[in-house]
Amino acid sequence: MPHALAQTEFHTIDDIYNLPEGSRAELIDGQIYYMAPPTRKHQEILSFLHAAIYNYITQNKGDCKVYPAPFAVFLFADDSKYLEPDISVICDKDKLDEHGCKGAPDWIIEIVSPGSRPMDYYIKLSLYRSAGVREYWIVDPMKQTILVYDMEHDSAPSIYAFTDTIKVNIYTDLWIDFRKLKL
């Protein structure tokens, strides 16, 4: 006798929009992935990185926009991949509308939490690479490391520590000094 397969519910972007106020989740191929509230350390890192990137863009009169989470990113046209990266940098203003970003941001930063580790290191890496994200950083507070993927140049990932100054690949002259991060 054949075994019955468990039926999993298929979700759409409408299910994301209908979540209770304050709920945060991402949608990948019909599955909803709920996100736990961020820790204080997570928010400190997010604020530090957002400020550094925002200040650089502003001081250089740059065309790119930087958005901290929650900010909607629809990686593909079919709405099957709705993500909320911790930081999204978008340089093509045609990708922006009132709902968020339609298509791949140029640079995405994810700050790892214990529950997001497999998602950030594997699932999102694959999605971001296939969508055309130019640069992807995985900031891991527990390991105090930053994994930098220069996907635009198909380079091997570089690993940095919270004591390093890191060159941003999508810019010619932006460096982020993690020694200035006070946790």
Q: How confident is the model at residue 78 (pLDDT cuts 50, 70, 90)?
A: confident
Q: Are 143 and 170 in contact (CB under 8 A)?
A: no
**Range with the poorest average pLDDT among 2-6, 74-78, 84-88, 138-142:** 2-6
User: Residue 168 has what pLDDT?
Assistant: 98
Answer yes or no: is pLDDT of 140 > 60: yes
Q: Is the pLDDT of residue 39 over 80?
A: yes
Q: What is the pLDDT of residues 83-129, one digit of tens each?
A: 999 999 999 999 999 999 999 999 999 999 988 999 999 999 999 99
6: pLDDT strictly greater than 70: no
* Beta strand 65-68 pairing with 73-74: unpaired
Q: Quick one: which of 59, 83, 60 has its CA closest to 71?
A: 83
Answer whether 0.85 is exceeded by the pTM: yes
Query: What mean pLDDT do residues 66-71 have?
Result: 97
Reply yes or no on whether the pLDDT at 4 is more than 60: no
